[in-house]
Amino acid sequence: MGRSIEVTATGTVYSSPCKLLQVIVKPSSLAGSFTLRDGGDAGRIILSDASVPPNERAYNLPLDHDCKTDLHATVSNCTLYCVIR
């Protein structure tokens, strides 16, 4: 299994190579967005949602991505739980 990392702000989620297994998105009371990248804030986009709906239930996005360098998130008005191994 993996471990879950809570992400509430823009920045490095995990600073080493890792396998991203799933992302759980928890919306806030405002419309939000997020982008996950492999390789810092200018790296390759792994997953993005520009319209996270406000006041909704959390939703799960299963993935199977090997991050070659690190995992970076740009987050606005939502919380992410990144499950990595």
Q: Which amino acid is at 61?
A: L
Query: Can you tell me the mean pLDDT for 2-19?
Result: 97
Residue 2 has pLDDT above 90, yes or no: no
77 in Cβ contact with 4 (< 8 Å): no
Q: Pick from 43, 24, 26, 47: which is nearest to 35 by CA? A: 47
pLDDT digits (tens, 9 = 90+) for 28-37: 999 999 999 9
End-to-end CA distance of the chain: 7
At the second CATH level, the architecture of 3-84 is Sandwich (2.60)
Cβ neighbours of residue 59 under 8 Å, at least 6 residues apart? 24, 25
Please count the other Cβ atoms lying within 10 Å of the Cβ belonging to residue 80: 24
Which pLDDT score, from 0 to 100, does residue 74 have? 98
List, for residues 71-85, the tens digit of each pLDDT value: 999 999 999 999 999
